[in-house]
Amino acid sequence: MTDLTTALRHTLDGRWAAVRDQIRGEFDPERFAPPSQELTMEEYRERVAKQVQLIAESGHPARGFPKSLGGNGDLGGSVTAFEMLGHADLSVMVKAGVHWGLFGGAVANLGTQRHHAAYLPSIIDGTLPGCFAMTETGHGSDVQSLGTTATYDPATDELVVHTQTPAARKDYIGNAARDGRMAAVFAQLVSRGESHGVHCVLVPIRDEAGSALPGVTIGDCGAKAGLGGVDNGRLTFDHVRVPRTNLLNRYGDLDETGVYTSPIENPTRRFFTMLGTLVRGRVSVAGAAGAATRTALTLAVTYAGHRRQFAPPGGAEEVLLLDYRAHQRKLLPALARTYALQLAQNQLVSLMHDVQSADAVDEHAQRELEARAAGIKAVSTSHATATIQTCREACGGAGYLAVNRLPMLKADTDVFTTFEGDNTVLLQLVAKGLLTDYRDEFGSLDTLGMVRFGARQFAGAVIERTAARGLIQRLIDAAPGRDSESGPRDRGWQLELFEDREKHLLETLAMRLRKAADPESDAFTVFNDAQDHVLSTARAHVDRVVLEAFVSAVDECTDAGAKAVLDQVCDLYALSTIETEKGWYLEHGRITPARSKQVTAAVNDLCAALRPRAQELVDAFGIPESWLGTELLEEPARAFAQG
């Protein structure tokens, strides 16, 4: 490991570097690597279930639960450990995430003392495998419209959980098809003939012997595109009775006469507060997507550094793939964005840790955390899907062989764009958050309510700075004007361009949506017609947040050599993003055609400048070599052996 690699890793590893090192040293790749040969579905599920048990025995899962609930209270460390698992078999990461993160998270965050005492010890030690049963066949993104009901029966002091229609069947539920014994079931809570909206109820689904309990029908989703070791299943409830006290009652409770009470009066606010406490799953998926992307880039960059193809005319030696500009263009801007996203992820994990560990609830910080998690999750998982595909192509035929991991990384991460919130829907949430300036007077969060509110309030919408407010403003103030002579690598100019795009998109979006307040117009149509604009606004926001995270990480780096390289990588992230969006910048007169060409030239120059550093840049990810055991990395040895 070079000094540069060590210093870069220090910046990338961030606040929970010690946890990363612990996992690097502790997790034996023999036991946690993806299977080296094709397994039947049952063999693979069995293998992953055993690996999850090994994780339980390692004691790591306790990190994710507050000390008061029997854990270690290191939430950031827990999410970071899960992120590191993303370098190994993603089926293990997902199954562990479903049990401890989603099921355990629901009990910890939506339940109260009685649930914590009864269930958390056996959730933490893995002896009560659980499911998080939210999605139904009929409704995935629109959780408020779930059809399962939990109806209070005062005669027996029980809740009756029932699947009202075939569309209300719980679907895709991780851990349901084979191993789960209990499910955190999201259902419409009904009492005294009145519905109180979606709440979560604990429902045992299997007995100790693994058989479905009376009234519970368990189905199997069968083979999937990836994540073959995860047993996704379907749950149907036929008037299944559980004690009233199985209602996770932190945000809404029933007494024995069926009277409903809640500390949050507004039902929509209550619903979103409940969902908001579950943000950790989204943060974890973003982290795992980052880990998988880094694995793919490490493979592709290393391969490109020793794989040769075509000799130049008269040249004795064939050219290394990484010396081709086209190849640099494929991998290095993606590498720069991967750095940027890891630094933004580190900030997000830190924010999550501080908000969720605080004694008092800070609603503004909680809203900010939810919006940030939604945006980073959407952008990181889309980036993973695109980059892993690029890496597969960059390795040619070798990239297609299962032994080289890229096909499996591609298949396993594909669904990250869908679960824990579909990316399109999440980006809409981000834009809504921006329009309302995180105000909780938001009222009804349904589309029409949002549109009306957004139209009234947009004048107050501001660009909130995320990190190092003073630093960013100083850099922007120092930028010597549009298309300045200082060139496209002026950081202040880049920051201003990102900020200007976000601000313009947000203001013009709000102006468009203002029409919805007109009694003559159909608010839904106004909003629907602007959906592309909504998504662009959210993306521009995330791009800016990510750039600011990168800029502040460069500023904090104390190693001069690493700082200089990070500065170039940050330039490459900023300029390749501007290049991607240059149509918008040109259309809106933000850059001249001449500056646009300079940006393209600067991206090429940066690719050339970073090419000699490419191996160190991926080595800095700190993925232990034994975790990357592929034929692809052994190419020079093979070529040599073959003469």
Ligand X SMILES: Cc1cc2nc3c(=O)[nH]c(=O)nc-3n(C[C@H](O)[C@H](O)[C@H](O)COP(=O)(O)OP(=O)(O)OC[C@H]3O[C@@H](n4cnc5c(N)ncnc54)[C@H](O)[C@@H]3O)c2cc1C
Rule CB under 6 A: choose which of 141, 309, 357, 484 binds ligand X: 141
606-640 CB burial, b ≥16 within 10 A, e <16: bbeebbebbbbbbbbbbbeeebbbbebbebeeeee
N residues, the chain? 643
Distance CA 247, CA 627 (A): 42
Residue among 230 and 334 whose Cβ is closer to ligand X = 230
| Among residues 110, 128, 202, 227, the one that binds ligand X under rule CB under 6 A | 227
Interface residue with ligand X among 66, 70, 121, 140 (CB under 6 A) is 140
Within residues 425-444, the interface with ligand X by CB under 6 A covers 425
Of 173 and 570, which CB lies nearer to ligand X in the complex structure? 173
With binding defined as CB under 6 A, does residue 167 bind ligand X? no
In this complex, which beta carbon is closest to ligand X, that of residue 98 or of residue 599?
98
Q: Cα separation of 184 and 104, whole Å?
A: 9
- Binding part of the chain for ligand X, among 80-88, 167-175, 299-307, 612-620 by CB under 6 A, reads 167-175
Could you tell me the smallest distance in angstroms from the CB atom of residue 472 to ligand X? 32
CB of 227 to ligand X, least distance (A): 6
Confirm or reject binding of residue 232 to ligand X (CB under 6 A): yes
Element (H, E) at 187: strand 182-191
Listed residue (229, 231, 233) closest to 43, CA to CA: 229
* Residues 89 and 229: beta-carbon distance below 8 Å: yes
Q: How far is the CB of 270 from ligand X (least distance, A)?
A: 19
How far are the Cα atoms of 53, 370, 462, 468, 569 from residue 465, in angstroms, in the given order? 42, 16, 9, 8, 22
Number of residues that bind ligand X (CB under 6 A): 19
Smallest distance from the beta carbon of 358 to ligand X, in angstroms?
28
Can you read off the two tokens belonging to residue 505?
């998109």
Among 62, 415, 431, 618, binds ligand X (CB under 6 A): 415
What's CA 175's distance to the chain center, in Å? 20
Cβ distance to ligand X smaller for residue 172 or 438 = 172
Residue nearest ligand X, CB atom distance: 140
CB of 224 vs ligand X, minimal distance in Å: 6
Query: Rounded to the nearest whole angstrom, what is the least distance from the CB of residue 13 to ligand X in the complex?
Result: 29
Q: How far is the CB of 555 from ligand X (least distance, A)?
A: 37
Is 419 a binding residue for ligand X by CB under 6 A? The answer is: yes
Separation CA 418–CA 366 (nearest Å): 23
418 binds ligand X (CB under 6 A): yes
Distance CA 171, CA 181 (A): 16
φ and ψ at residue 221, rounded to 5 degrees: -75, -15
Q: Which is nearer to ligand X, 76 or 101 (CB)?
A: 101
Out of 16, 172, 303, 442, which residue is the one contacting ligand X (CB under 6 A)?
A: 172
3-state SS assignment for residue 254: strand
Region from 117-125, 209-217, 411-419, 566-574 binding ligand X, contact rule CB under 6 A: 411-419
DSSP string, 87-122: TS-HHHHHHHIIIIIIIHHHHHHH--HHHHHHHHHH
Please tell me whether residue 75 binds ligand X under the rule CB under 6 A: no
Measure the CA–CA gap between 433 and 537, rounded to whole angstroms. 11
Stretch that binds ligand X, among 39-47, 129-137, 145-153, 326-334 (CB under 6 A): 129-137
98 binds ligand X (CB under 6 A): yes
Distance CA 101, CA 430 (A): 23
Residues of this chain that interact with ligand X (CB under 6 A) are 98, 132-135, 140-141, 172-174, 224, 227, 232, 415, 418-419, 422, 424-425
